[in-house]
Structure 1
Amino acid sequence: MADDPEEGMLSWDESVFRNEHVFEIDYVPETFAHRESEMRSLKYALRPAARGSRPLNVIARGPPGTGKTTAVQKVFGELGAQTDVRTVRVNCQVDSTRYSVFSRIFEGIFEYEPPSSGISFKKLFRQITEKLVEEDEVLVVALDDVNYLFYEGEASDTLYSLLRAHEAHSGAKIGVIVVLGPEPRCHRGLGRPRPERLPPRRGVLPGVRPRGNRRHPPRTCRARFPRGRRLDRSPDEVAELTAESGDLRVGIDLLRRAGLNAEMRASRTVSLQDVEEAYEKSKYVHLSHSLQALSDSEIELLEVIAQHDGERAGDVYDAFHDQTGLGYTRYSEIINKLDQLDIIDATYTNVEGRGRSRQLSLRYEPDAVLNRLEGS
């Protein structure tokens, strides 16, 4: 039938993928290639914990999608299987306050959630440290996407509490892995924790490299597509587009969408056209990920900026205040967060007769931002 929607696509039992599960966001590969030195650094820092001592603290820094979370999950898996060390990974995009971070730690130790109300942070903290001392256990906490604690002004108090837990309760042994992006400006929010309290061991995971110095994209593609599925120049194109975006998650999403495009046209070959069409959606992976962390007032301001793209900060504030009634202090805080998230550019420019003023511009097309806000 000419109007049959399945006409021209592969049947349900046919696929261009060898294993589509590897494209899922929570997939942890059995073989973690090209991160051997970073894994050794993590294991070096955590070895004292396996012997019952307080481990070294670590900063794992690198661009999005370079394997920071996967490295932590792999090492935590080994620790949990071979030792009695307690490990807790906290997603700071979801838990972005000190109280919520310690609630996740409480859940990881006691294996049930703390009461949603009626318990102070001081009591929550004391129950955690008392349990560790009572059981003579070492705890390692990974603060994943810790940037979000900085954006909310919660990083200083959270790190202070974790790093000085042994002072609050003698005998408490807690190590911290701080997982954050590449921007050094994130460190400005540390405030109270002085340099001697910061993690002493740092690891930097390199990002995506352009042609001539890439990390074997053809082999990566072969691991995802079966033998006999010809890829033409698609791996090279995927690598170039991923390097251009600076986020490996774009490349993973791009491979999946390109494969689905090929299946929809009943092809067993992923073509350049499949890749190029897929990129029109995959290039917004970082944007979609960042929008999930925004509050209602932050979304409202982003909508205003999309409607006033490229205008001065003062004019944008007037429109935002008229719409929400919020003051300039909150407005400035949101601007700084959106800038840190790389959703907008807030750059200072010279305005004749007015001195320096910030100009607010989206890093994406306004329609792309608004469409994703409507669908979120």
Structure 2
Amino acid sequence: MSEIIDDLIKKTGTVSKIFMDREVLQPDYVPDTLPHRENEIRRLAEHLIVVARGVRPSNVLIYGLTGTGKTAVARYVVRKIVEKSASLGTKLKDAYVNTRKVDTTYRVIAEIARQLGLMIPYTGLAVSEVYRRYVNALENWGGLHVVILDEIDYYVRREGDDLLYKLVRINEELSSSKVVLIGITNDINFVENLDPRVRSSLGEVEMVFPPYNAEQLYTILKQRAEKAFVPGAISDGVISFCAAIAAREHGDARRALDLLRVAGEIAEREDATEVTVEHVRKASVEIEEGRVYQTVSFLPLHQKLVLKEILEIVKNKGSATTGEVYLAYVNRARELGYEPLTQRRVSEIISQLDMMGLVLAEVVNRGRRGVTKMIKVKPDIMKNIEEALKDLG
């Protein structure tokens, strides 16, 4: 088996012909400058700058489609303010948690506490105990903790908003420390399903990030490419092609960076010395397959059940109505021993699946029979959805 590794090392060498620093293209990389987000940086910084003096500002909720710079701006502004606060003698720390990856209540609060410096076991404690330790540590420390909760809509759909309620009210339990929350979401309707008390406290200040256009995406990719690739390994034309693809898909900078990185990895695997447009096309197919599988895998149970029934009906009939999906879902849920959701909630789930791009739901007027949603699934992603749902039987 080791011969395979030896052959690959001989073929590709130990030094990449394509990449100089591929980490620059990773989604969690925060660059020193963020082109075309100057206004958003200024607005968020103007709001948060008081934390450098130890004053707690209002909580912030940031909205925007995937890849519009929300996370990068929030982390960039907070990082810079934390750095400046040291020279002012202010006790200020930050915590960042992607709640789609750290996706249980225990893990979220434990991760926030760890980033304050606590030693929290990965399992074994009650959530209430972890929360208590976090509160005690804040009081003993006596500073201001800026907590960024990313992709918060996915967490709430899975776990509910009990932890958010605790966090937005935590300052009532503190006398020597304070906590400010920054929530980041892709769902513009996110707050509508929250407890009203959470909604009013979490969204005290709201910001909306617009999508990038092709020209802006090109600037972002060009900046990253200069650090990521070996000189001469990628042309402006290829960068422009990546930007154009991402601009058609709602101005998603993350998608554009993924295209650039995966295209480079494909070129590397093929022992090429330059990334081409054909490598970008191959990367687009590879990413789409992985994106669909990962998105479906992360869905909560009842969303998976609804999607599975849509898939079954569409495979047999070509399309499905909301009523057909609901009846099939109710039967499947009861067979598996689960209490079915209401028809209204299932209709909301179908809308969410449509927003994610997993189904196509079009409202159709059926005359006297009223209106319904006609639901279809794109043929090119059906196989990936089936693969991700196979654990449901």
Shorter chain as denominator, the TM-score bin is 0.7 to 0.9
Tell me which residue corresponds to 1:306: 311
Post-superposition CA distance 1:199-253 (Å, at most 9, x none): 3333333323135985454444333322223526212211111112232222122
Q: Does the CA-based 8 Å contact 2:217-2:253 persist in structure 1?
A: no
User: In the TM superposition, what are the counterparts of 1:330-349 in structure 2 within 5 Å?
Assistant: 333=345, 336-337=348-349, 339-340=351-352, 342=356, 343-349=358-364
Q: Secondary structure at the match of 1:193?
A: helix
Secondary structure class of the residue paired with 1:40: helix
Alignment partner of 1:86 is 2:98 = no
Q: How does 1:1-376 map to 2 (within 5 A)?
A: 11=13, 13-81=15-83, 82=86, 83-96=90-103, 100-109=107-116, 111-113=118-120, 116=123, 119=126, 121=128, 124-152=130-158, 154-155=160-161, 157-181=162-186, 183-193=187-197, 197-210=201-214, 215=219, 217-231=221-235, 233-246=237-250, 247-284=252-289, 286-309=291-314, 310-325=319-334, 326-329=338-341, 333=345, 336-337=348-349, 339-340=351-352, 342=356, 343-351=358-366, 354-362=369-377, 365-373=381-389
Structure 1 88/357 Cα, relative in aligned 2: closer, same or farther at 3 Å?
A: same
Per-residue CA distance 1:26-67 (angstroms, 9 max, x = gap): 333344443333333333333322222213322222221233
Listed one character per residue, the Cα deviations across residues 272-304 of structure 1 (whole Å, up to 9, x for unaligned) are 222222211223564344234224554344333
Which stretch of structure 1 is more off in the superposition, 48-57 or 288-297?
288-297
Structure with the largest fraction of helix: 2
Between the aligned residues of both structures, percent identity stands at: 24
Residue segments in structure 1 that go unaligned for 5+ positions in a row: none
The structure-2 alpha-carbon separation of the partners of 1:245 and 1:283, relative to structure 1 and needing over 3 Å to count, comes to: farther
Kept after mapping to 1: 8 A contact 2:20/2:230:
yes
Cα gap change, 1:198/1:295 in structure 2, threshold over 3 Å: closer, same or farther?
closer
Change in 2 beyond 3 A, CA 1:355/1:204: closer
Residues 63-94 of structure 1, C-alpha deviations (whole Å, 9 max, x = no match): 21233222333344445543521322222214
SS in 2 for 1:88: strand
Q: In structure 2, the residue corresponding to 1:109 is in which secondary structure? A: coil
Q: Alignment partner of 2:263: what SS?
A: helix
1:374/1:239 CA distance change after superposition, 3 Å: farther
Which letter does structure 1 place at the counterpart of 2:325?
V
- 2:3 aligns to what? none
Q: Describe the SS at the equivalent of 2:307.
A: helix
SS of residue in 2 equivalent to 1:233: helix
8 Å contact kept, 2:165–2:198: no
Conservation of the 8 A alpha-carbon contact between 2:62 and 2:185: yes
> Where does structure 2 lack aligned partners over 5 or more consecutive residues?
1-6
Alpha-carbon distance between aligned partners in 2 of 1:102 and 1:271, rounded to the nearest angstrom: 44
Secondary structure, aligned partner of 2:282? helix
Q: CA deviation at 1:12?
A: 5.0
Which digits, 9 at most, give the CA deviation of each residue in 1:307-363, with x for residues without a partner? 323301232233334444244317764663464351334444334554333333336
Distance in 2 separating the partners of 1:190 and 1:125: 21
Count of aligned pairs between the two proteins: 369
The AA in structure 2 aligned to 1:185 is: N
SS at match of 2:115: helix
Q: 2:51–2:144: 8 Å Cα contact kept in structure 1?
A: yes
Instruction: Decide whether aligned partners of structure 1 residues 136 and 264 sit closer, same or farther in structure 2, where only a CA change above 3 A counts.
Output: closer
3-state SS of 1:18 partner: coil
Letter in 2 for 1:255: L
In 2, Cα distance between equivalents of 1:191 and 1:125: 20
Name the stretch that deviates more: 329-338 or 126-135: 329-338
Compared CA separation, residues 75 and 194, structure 1 to 2 (3 A)? closer
| Aligned residue type for 2:381 | E
* CA distance in 1 between partners of 2:351 and 2:221 (Å): 31
Scaled by the length of structure 2, the TM-score of the pair is 0.78
Q: TM-score if structure 1 supplies the norm length?
A: 0.81
Residue 133 to residue 267, structure 1, CA distance change in 2 (3 Å)? closer
Paired residue type of 1:261: I
Q: Which amino acid aligns with 1:38?
A: E
2:365 is paired with a residue of what secondary structure? Answer: strand
> What amino acid maps onto 1:104 in structure 2?
E
